Amino acid sequence: ASSTKSSYEIVTLTTWLLKQEQAGVIDNEMTIVLASISTACKQIAALVQRAPISNLTGVQGAVNVQGEDQKKLDVVSNEVFSNCLKSSGRTGVIASEEEDVPVAVEESYSGNYIVVFDPLDGSSNIDAAVSTGSIFGIYAPNDECLADVENSGTRCVVSVCQPGSNLLAAGYCMYSSSVIFVLTLGAGVYVFTLDPMYGEFVLTQEKVQIPKAGKIYAFNEGNYALWDDKLKKYMDSLKEPGDSGKPYSARYIGSLVGDFHRTLLYGGIYGYPRDRKSKNGKLRLLYECAPMSFIVEQAGGKGSDGHQRILDITPTEIHQRVPLYIGSVEEVDKVEKFLA
Ligand code: AHM
Ligand code: MG
């Protein structure tokens, strides 16, 4: 047989997932959950692209549970994500950035997996058509870590608060010049690109490895004056031209998924530190930092809160915040040294 790959030979996310199932990497329930997430992402991609036309931009007026203005698209994306998961019939509990407590799926439907997600991260970028993304993580239930859950108006207790090291799968979808779906099942990182011609996610990169080092940093340096001295020294060091005569380059979209995806492919570091006003930084452990850290580790990188591995932290609250330093191993090691 010829070893030349035909240009008509494409691997879609669906066929890839079925192959993983056949190989015993995931079970049938997980395949269905992941397929429903990819459907949600396709729907959100279409909503994001058409937002200025369908009048979905702008603040809705509502304020979400964390006191932030809730944009229209946040609300809609949350509904899309939740509905896709619920109708998959394979998700027991979902926890979302936009809901104040995790939601248990009706018993008649209920499956086992616990899905945590941020349906539309970086939504402050939407009005200017700048990149945004959805982030998700999937856990198995664990009776030892329990949290309050809302189930048709009544509260019950389920297992949501697990450390990221328990993640079975994690991924994100980036809504940018291309729509990119990145997934790990705990054995490497796979990248799929939405083919607008077929409406399918097509495998475009496998076993992605993040460069060991990279001279790009992504921090919101507007907060510099609020940082502690150790972090300021680190930041100043990146601007030293050093032996090469070239300092680090700054890149900051203000959209975790976009900033992370660039870091994954080009190397470097993304950071959201704690500061004088935000004692634990801004990003949420459960559905932002842990899934991204799982992905970066699967690509040979590192995710840290500045002192310890993100995946080792057990959340005590659903919306718990944590400082995040994530990217190339050498870059994250460097910031940890400065902060020690
Ligand atoms: P969000 O979940 O409310 O959208 O906030 C998270 C976003 C991240 O995508 C991004 O990295 C960060 O907030 C940017 O924050 P800042 O504007 O403070 O730099
Ligand atoms: Mg978010």
- Whose CA is closest to 73, among 130, 116, 23? 130
Atom of ligand 1 nearest to the CA of 257: 9
Q: How far, in Å, are 27, 38, 67, 211 from residue 185 at the CA level?
A: 11, 14, 34, 21
pLDDT of res. 91: 60
Q: Residue 258: CB within 6 Å of ligand 1? A: no
Atom of ligand 1 nearest to the CA of 120: 4
pLDDT of res. 152: 45
pLDDT of res. 85: 80
**DSSP-derived 3-state class of residue 59:** strand
Q: Residue 321: CB within 6 Å of ligand 1? A: no
Q: Residue 282: CB within 6 Å of ligand 1? A: yes
B/e letters for 209-236, b = 16+ CB within 10 Å, e = fewer, are: ebbeebbbbbbeeebeeebeeebeebbe
In angstroms, what is the span from residue 120 Cα to ligand 1's centroid? 11
In angstroms, what is the span from residue 1 Cα to ligand 1's centroid? 50
The pTM assigned to this predicted structure is: 0.90
pLDDT of res. 70: 52
Most informative mutation of 135, 269, 272, 319 for ligand 1 (most atoms within 8 A of CB):
272
Q: Give the number of whichever ligand sits closest to the CA of residue 263.
A: 1
In angstroms, what is the span from residue 259 Cα to ligand 2's centroid? 13
pLDDT of res. 67: 64
Strand-strand pairing, 91-96 and 113-121: parallel
Q: Residue 122: CB within 6 Å of ligand 1? A: yes
In angstroms, what is the span from residue 246 Cα to ligand 2's centroid? 33
Q: Residue 256: CB within 6 Å of ligand 1? A: yes
Q: Which residues of the chain fall short of a pLDDT of 70? A: 1-7, 55-71, 89-111, 142-160
283 Cβ contact list (under 8 Å, min separation 6): 256, 272, 289, 321, 322, 324
Q: Which two tokens stand for residue 135?
A: 């982030």
pLDDT of res. 157: 43
- Whose CA is closest to 294, among 214, 192, 186? 186
pLDDT of res. 126: 86
In angstroms, what is the span from residue 124 Cα to ligand 1's centroid? 8
pLDDT of res. 93: 61
pLDDT of res. 146: 46
